[in-house]
Amino acid sequence: MKRKASPPRQPRTQPIELPRSAKAGLAELRRARRAGAARYRRRGEVAQGGMALVVQVWDSLLHRPLAMKLQPTRGKAGSDEAVARFLREGAIAAQLRHPGVIPVHDLGLDERGRLYYTMPLVEGRELGEVLDRARTASRGGELARALAALAQVCDVVRYAHLRGVIHGDLKPSNVLLGPFDEVYVLDWGLATLASDDGHDGAVSGTPPYMSPEQAEGHVGFPSDVYAVGAMLYRLLAGRSPYAPRRGHEDAQKTIELVKRGPPTPIERLAPDAPAGLAALCERAMAREPDERGSPEELAAGLRAIAATLGAAGRERS
């Protein structure tokens, strides 16, 4: 008599804990300000955006270089909403314990009263560079490497979803590949918790990688799957979805195009794409969220095609 196979056990989910409020979080940090202000010595700028600055610092207590993300205090970046988002980002990233998420070491206020958090200093290449190289390379090994990187992004997304976290801004510039092809998903500043119900009507994210529902102000787990599909589209087509043939991308116009209908089919832009990749991309970018499949299904498809490309490359060599 055959024993009936039991269904696979799902990992136990753990809820994300956040500060009670921005005011309570700031009050707690001010109490620790004097002790922590002199610990980090600034060594140079790493990156700068509209809402945050990342610098390299030296941790004089543990004698190691770190990256420090700083919250500006002026303009829009210093608003109560921006402060709350920064605290939220630090809290979420600190509790996502996965090899593909850079851990948060410390959260505090510097000597100028700016919020900061520190994390390991990671060097590598942005995913966009890897995608562009894979498209122009003559050997399948580069394409297999790019597909494997996208599969690792899916792994991080799956883990975050199990913790109830939606990234909300997946794109090539928010994915970093380390020297050993390890993948890090960066910038959790637009992350939301599924328990918060991401249907507040506010449109946030990067338009070319937004799902149709996200362009309408609604975000959910399938929105992250769509974004990975849009990165696969970028790999195959050589440009992001809805990118104009000439001129610069217009954010508002792109959002309207996302709402209106699907982008140009991959089969027309990349007719020589390896078998199965166009279909994989089309499913991940389906208009209906329920039709996109899960991150693990997308990862499995990417790895299967990457393995086929790798085997073909070995036979030719």
Q: Which residues are catalytic?
A: 169
- Name which of 157, 178, 23 is nearest 98 in CA terms: 157
Query: How many whole angstroms separate alpha carbon 311 and alpha carbon 108?
Result: 50
Query: How many whole angstroms separate alpha carbon 230 and alpha carbon 264?
Result: 12
Q: Which residue is listed with tokens 């850079």?
A: 102
Query: How many whole angstroms separate alpha carbon 51 and alpha carbon 162?
Result: 28
- Name which of 84, 152, 93 is nearest 118 in CA terms: 93
Which CA distances in Å does 128 have to 48, 171, 205?
18, 8, 17
Query: How many whole angstroms separate alpha carbon 77 and alpha carbon 51?
Result: 5
Q: What are phi and psi of 141, to 5 degrees?
A: -60, -35
